[in-house]
Structure 1
Amino acid sequence: MNTRPAAAVAVGAALALVAATPALAAVSPSPAPSSTATGPVYNSVQAGTRLYIGGSFTKVDSAAAAGLAALNATTGVRDPAFKADVVGKVYALATDGSTIFLGGSFTSVGGVARTNLAAVSPSGQVVSSFHPSVSSTVESLDYTNGTLYIGGAFSTVNGTKRPKLAALDPTTGAVVQSFNPKPNGLVHVVKASGSQVYVGGRFTSIGGAGRSYVALLDASGAVQPYDPKLAFDSQVFDIATSATGVYLGTGGHLPAGNSVYGTTPGSGAQRWQVKTDGNVQSVEAQGSDIYGAGHFNNTCLPSSTASTGCLIDFSARKTVVVDDGTGVARAFATFNSAFGVWDLTTAGGNLYALGEFTKVNNTNQPGIARFPIP
């Protein structure tokens, strides 16, 4: 494991701090009962007591559900009151607290023509006032402060040039004209909070500034100082934030790609890096533990490089957990299939893993795994 030498001083102070502030109990790697999905689950978002899931699945349990469904966030059981079938694939979900926004590569939602971006009510009815025209795939969505941010492979929105990234009015779908950072490559993830917008993908410049694969923007699209200085030939697939850190899930090639990073808010300085032998598609912060998930089978020793490949540290089939304070990694649950886990999310007192697997810890549990948080 990626251990560090123990500190030689202030041991008593450290022990006193631990005693005064006990760590949160670790999430058990054994999943609790939940619904299952027939086909891939790519993303999720919580709104109220529900966890909405999107993908290219055809059923949840034995009920027909094409690409979009709702679960009880606490129990993980399908909510039959929601129905909105999608013709195509749903890659991204976001919410303003009630309306559910979905993005992907699709042509209709609930029998209504919609191309790549749509909004539905909690009952599954398509919101008629929200009807933007997006020229290609939407890979990520997020909502904050009355603005819907979208990222992906598109070049225009409503006929207006907006390469790979745009901000929209969530009621009408109109383009926010003042926001136009123009990344020069694909955008895989948008993570918005308040007046800050983190963007990750395959770009090397955005907002007129050089940024390799990840950047922080303000609400006007201006680039902020945050810069982890990721090395060549990586790409950022997911971003998670907490009060103490910004966490990146990356793909590409070692030594910079295929990793979970802990970075410092503000400057973006790298605090730790845990390498894997495949893409890290999702990251999620839970207390002092940072979870990473994706297509990997092993973590790699810190010395692993592009030329030597992955020098295996320990087996971690599709998930890994990192202690945020030390950067020390450990295995979590074991998932099968090549593609593994596409999404991690915290909802209803659970950590959910969603993806393209059929077994968890060698037990049948297709597509949806629910791990209660102590």
Structure 2
Amino acid sequence: MTASTVVLLAAASLTSAFGSQARDVKVLRTEKTPRGERTLTAAPLATWQTDGIVWSVEYARGVVYVGGTFDNVRPPGAKPGRKQVARKNFAAFDALTGKLLPCAHSFTKGAGTVRALKASRDGKVLYVGGSFDRVDGTGVSSATALNTADCSLRRDFRPAVAAPVRAIETTDTTVYLAGDFTVVDGQERRRVAAFSRSGTLLPFKADVDGPVRAILAASDRGQVLVGGKFHHVNGQPEQALVSLSPTTGSTVKSFHDWLPERSAVTSLTRNGDRFYLGAEGEGTGIFDGRIAGRLSDGTMVWKDTCLGATQDVVVYKGVLYSASHAHYCGLTPGGFPDGPRRHFLAESVSDRSILHWFPDTDDGIGEGVGPRTLVMAGNVLWAGGEFTAVNGRPQQGLTRFGTGPGDTAPQAAPRLTARRTHAGKVTLAWRATWDRDDAELTYRIYRDGVLVASPKRRSVEWDRPDMTYTDSVPPGSHHRYTIAATDGRHTTHRSEPLDVTA
């Protein structure tokens, strides 16, 4: 055993221990909604960065794995090109601390990109897909697997896939690959294929006429959901979503009229009998948002009406988090009018209401869609994508959000004006500010440095109400007023003073 192997094994052991801690992290602070859901904080935790696009993130046994199109990673806060560590399209991080781990392989040739990561149900194996022909010095063909215990490349799972793999799903016995391919191991497999965990191609076979971008196995419901950019499956019209037999690939359920012709399913996730999908479309009359359905009978539970493509969805404690670039959700409860892109959303799984959780990124590089992929690692949401800034500050490729502490502060102190003064009365006016993860803020009003009032009001970025406060003072007296906004943990600086004569 080499010295580097000893270091790697030690790191794997440590991260397993850290992983158990991550799963037991106590909820220190989250925003509780009127319906009782609690969102994560909107303040990002310190996170390593990439110098390119992150297409997939996955969590297993205390480690978060990252795949994409990049050459290097760099520490939190480091500027592009500074303090870089070589990682060719694949990297691993401690899920709790965020520390870079020595688990590293170089995925190259072909398009040289990792598009899909999925752990086995027991967390012992990490399956990797994309468009690559080599892992370090070993020849592969767009799919392979690693042992999570020591980060070693497995010898048994090396299918020959003739085109990019875009999604992977696992059960206790089966590994499903999905993507653009039509041939696997020399046999026809049109966009989806199934393997034993040891890499043997299984009889499962479906005829899908377009790329598959998401796959979700529900063996206990006797089905595998497949989503993507297709119109027909097994010779029948199936727009972007279909349910297949886990063993044969025959059609089990159809979802007619769920999605229009120019929309595609980008992501699928499950919580009990519910499944959730994210979609994107091009042109008019498309669907870009999220749908909740029931696995048991294939019925739709709800459908939001947001515009701005959804790239990924994940459920955590009654909240559906999504990576998107939504710019209009005006017809969805809690939604917003048409305006700037909002790259993260949180919705109640019970009624699709948009919750008060608004961290944000820029559009970034590549296609300019911001975040592309999400995974929950214990109590922490990891997100990867094309972005180069989070909440207005430089941060490229990766970010993460926890349950606290470190939530965001109100955006700025309001500006006071004197609406009127008469007979010993001073009426102050200001416009409410807003906070990324607290809907209700308290406004502390000071007269001559002494706190005289603390009114409260709910607000969001697109709806900041005008507020007033009338103070009683001796007629003819002179006073200096200031105001600050607080969410109970963070308080803005006091405003510029306003001098008033009553």
TM-score class, shorter-chain normalisation, is 0.7 to 0.9
Alpha-carbon separation, structure 1, partners of 2:144 and 2:261: 35
Which of 134, 142, 147 matches 1:116?
Answer: 142
Alpha-carbon separation, structure 2, partners of 1:286 and 1:348: 10
Shift of 1:339: 2.3
The residue that corresponds to 1:38 in the other structure is 51
Alpha-carbon separation, structure 2, partners of 1:111 and 1:73: 28
The residue that corresponds to 2:250 in the other structure is 222
Deviations 1:192-249 (A, max 9, x none): 2434311101122324543211112232223223626322211100011112521111
Secondary structure of 1:224's aligned partner: strand
2:384 aligned with 1:350, yes or no?
no
The residue that corresponds to 2:275 in the other structure is 246
Q: 1:349 to 1:212 in 2, by over 3 A?
A: same
Contact 1:300 1:314 in 2 (8 A): no
2:351 aligned with 1:326, yes or no?
yes
The residue that corresponds to 1:84 in the other structure is 105
Contact 2:267 2:311 in 1 (8 A): yes
Alpha-carbon separation, structure 2, partners of 1:23 and 1:228: 34
The residue that corresponds to 1:104 in the other structure is 130
Contact 1:225 1:266 in 2 (8 A): no
Which of 400, 407, 432 matches 1:370?
Answer: 400
> What residue identity is the alignment partner of 1:335?
T
> What residue identity is the alignment partner of 1:85?
S
Alpha-carbon separation, structure 2, partners of 1:237 and 1:160: 26
2:294 aligned with 1:264, yes or no?
yes
Shift of 1:24: 4.0
Structure 1 portions without partners, runs of 5+: 1-18, 304-310
The residue that corresponds to 1:196 in the other structure is 223
Alpha-carbon separation, structure 2, partners of 1:335 and 1:228: 34
2:94 aligned with 1:72, yes or no?
yes
Which of 156, 176, 179 matches 1:149?
Answer: 176
Alpha-carbon separation, structure 2, partners of 1:107 and 1:292: 32
Alpha-carbon separation, structure 2, partners of 1:70 and 1:133: 25
Which of 265, 278, 282 matches 1:236?
Answer: 265
> What residue identity is the alignment partner of 1:137?
P
Deviations 1:341-366 (A, max 9, x none): 01011113201111111111011221
Alpha-carbon separation, structure 2, partners of 1:30 and 1:276: 24
Secondary structure of 1:318's aligned partner: strand
RMSD: 2.3
> What residue identity is the alignment partner of 2:330?
L
Alpha-carbon separation, structure 2, partners of 1:70 and 1:57: 13
Alpha-carbon separation, structure 2, partners of 1:196 and 1:73: 31
Alpha-carbon separation, structure 1, partners of 2:378 and 2:294: 28
2:181 aligned with 1:168, yes or no?
no
Shift of 1:313: 4.2
State the TM-score, normalized to the length of structure 1.
Answer: 0.85
Choose 1 or 2 for highest CA Rg.
Answer: 2
Alpha-carbon separation, structure 1, partners of 2:292 and 2:349: 7
State the TM-score, normalized to the length of structure 2.
Answer: 0.65
Deviations 1:254-273 (A, max 9, x none): 54421112223333333333
Alpha-carbon separation, structure 2, partners of 1:38 and 1:67: 10
Q: 1:297 to 1:22 in 2, by over 3 A?
A: closer
Alpha-carbon separation, structure 2, partners of 1:76 and 1:354: 14
User: Which has the larger displacement, 270-279 or 140-149?
Assistant: 270-279
Alpha-carbon separation, structure 2, partners of 1:205 and 1:142: 21
The count of corresponding residues between Structure 1 and Structure 2 is 344
Alpha-carbon separation, structure 1, partners of 2:126 and 2:189: 23
Contact 2:130 2:142 in 1 (8 A): yes
Q: Percent identical across equivalent pairs?
A: 26
Which of 119, 124, 127 matches 2:154?
Answer: 127
Q: 1:130 to 1:121 in 2, by over 3 A?
A: same
Contact 1:249 1:258 in 2 (8 A): yes
